[in-house]
Amino acid sequence: MAGSARPRADLGPLTGLRVLEVATLYSAPQIATMLGDLGADVVKVEPPAGDPLRGMGQQRSGRSVPWELVGRNKRSVVLDLDDAGGEDRATFRQLVAAADVLVENLPHEARARWGCAYEDLAGANPSVIVVSVSCYGRSGPYAERPGAGTLAEAFAGLTSMTGEADGPPMLASVAIGDTLTAFAGVIGALSACWSRDAHGGPGRLVDVSMYEPILAIMAATIAGWDGASAPPRRSGSRVPGGAPRNVYRTRDGRYVAVSGTTDPQVARLLELMGRTSAEDRARFARAADRLRSADELDDLVAAWVAERDRADVVDALLGARVGVSPVNDVADLLADPHVTARGSLVQGEVAVVPAALPAMSGARRDPRPAPALDADRAAVLEEWLA
């Protein structure tokens, strides 16, 4: 692969934004990936052995699927930053001076050794936006603790709220913590760029902890606790204060998710299920009454769903304007006509990947493949350091 510079016609809304990535593995590199999806010129600085993710995870056609996912829309330049007296340190500093945004997730020792502390980077480029990712943030007593998305999910309370009420806490089967971190980092990077570029503000340090974005999705649970009673606990697929809201098994062995918790939705659901007696209305029609009978209502919905195939349940509830979705697996997603029509998933060289987010007029959503190691050194140094 001679290089991977994106043709000019393919650039998106972040055309001209230069992003330097000095990060490894999954969460922090996703920040640069998302910026690259939107057209930023992302240069990934790799050690001589390459990002460890290149050799990790599922392999397909001799290539790492996680690397292809996270390495898309980037260019690779190898620099040996451990060689204190070598030219690569000087080249790195020149790249920092040319960058708009720098993304890093280095441990304290490596930041200090490579000159990647914020003060060092701002010395090379006072206007650079440094997005620094760590599990617990760059301040506080846990700042130097190692961590990952999984640990952030546990620390921030999400794991305690996941699972059946009478079972143990459970970790999610997908990388929620890593990906939420990436979204937070993108928001921080673009907000800091707006402050700098629209208002003449300075460069900034964007301190992205991995646990704080999870606190954002825990917000209602945290705010709902009175501080005196027992802390909130997991409740399976149900939520306190809303019924019916659950996952239900259909006659053909599939599942649907139903969320119809408003009074009008419940009225239409009761009519659909043939539960329109005065007694039923007294127990279920109003939210306050419904919560006192939530278990009974949940059982009624489960029994009604269990007598029908999934497609029929979905059609019936959609017709009644009650919130419902099939519980899709990956095969369902790849075959779904809506996902296909919107181009929500796109075929890369070795794997199907999510399209650039969000969909935007005039911007392409399909990615460039992840680069070969050091494939873009000549092009990057010519373009960035000219």
Which one of 41, 51, 100, 178 is the catalytic residue? 178
Length in residues, the chain? 386
How distant, in Å, are the alpha carbons of 57, 328, 356 from that of 346?
20, 18, 9
Residue ranges in the chain whose pLDDT is less than 70: 1-11
Q: What's the pLDDT tens digit per position in 170-213?
A: 999 999 999 999 999 999 999 999 999 999 989 999 999 999 99
For position 52, what pLDDT does the model report?
92
Identify which of 213, 115, 221, 236 has the alpha carbon closest to the alpha carbon of residue 155.
Answer: 213
pLDDT at 4: 44
Secondary structure (DSSP) of 207-270: EEESSHHHHHHTHHHHHT--SSSPPP---TT-BTTBSSEEEEE-TTS-EEEEE--SHHHHHHHH
Instruction: Tell me the two tokens of residue 237.
Output: 């697929």
**What is the secondary structure of 142-207 as a DSSP string?**
TTT----HHHHHHHTTTGGGSS-TTS-----SS-HHHHHHHHHHHHHHHHHHHHHHHH-----EEE
Tokens of 101: 């945004």
Active site residue 178: yes
Contact 273, 330 (CB under 8 A): no
CA–CA separation, 159 vs 321, rounded Å? 32
